Amino acid sequence: MNRLMPKLLCATLVTVLSLAAAGFASAHHVLGRPSYGLNEDSNTPPAVQGETHLGSVTATYMVFPAFPKPEEPGRINLYLKQDRSDVPFEGKVTFKIRSNSWLSWLWNDEEEITLGTQLQDDSVFRQVFVFPKEGEYIISAEFEADGLPYNVEFPLRIGALMPMDFILGFALLVLVGFVVIQRRRSMTGKIRNLHADGSKA
């Protein structure tokens, strides 16, 4: 039984890493499209919406549609306004994407893919994207204002919550439980040996 446990541990670890790697690889094939490829629809609610202040600039971002899906186009709308003059930002914005999976954090993989660089169009910076697979991602919008670099980041979920997330979570729980049980058995065996040696003495 003791010989079988290490084999089960290795098999569980390999399964977890294989499943995670499959989901992690999806971030490397994101397609960006120029702003003129948009299909504006004022009735579509945003999937993500927020506002943040960066120095003298106020950034408001929205991501459409409400439920982004793989292989279907989505778009990012970014509004940048100078706080002092209340005038729209006139520069350019570079949109990037990277994986937000736990595996990318574990391996410290910060590789980003550039979706495109856009100019202002009617006070809005627009970027269209297409994701081939479901997953968790981080969108970033980089620009310079008053000679200083700024970066707006926000998370985006593509597709529904994947069953793989539950599989990985369950596998990790099994792995942790196995390690804890083995550690307790080892400590119990050592304590019994100490008691046995003390009684013989």
Strand-pair category, 74-82 with 125-130? antiparallel
| % of the chain with per-residue pLDDT over 90 | 38
Mean confidence (pLDDT) of the chain: 76
- Return the half-sphere exposure (C-beta side, CA atoms, 13 A cut-off) of residue 33: 14
Residues pairing with 50 in the sheet: 61
Helix/strand/coil percentages in the chain, nearest 5: 35, 35, 30
Taking only the tens place, the pLDDT of each residue in 51-65 is: 999 988 999 999 999
Angle between helices 163-200 and 4-24 (to 10 degrees): 150
CA–CA distance, 91 with 144 (Å, rounded to integer): 7
> CATH number of 28-161: 2.60.40.3340, 1.10.579.10, 3.20.20.70, 2.170.190.11?
2.60.40.3340
The predicted model scores a pTM of 0.63
Where does the chain have alpha helices with state H? 4-24, 102-106, 163-200
CA–CA distance, 45 with 63 (Å, rounded to integer): 9
* Residue 188, pLDDT above cutoff 80: no
CA–CA distance, 72 with 46 (Å, rounded to integer): 15
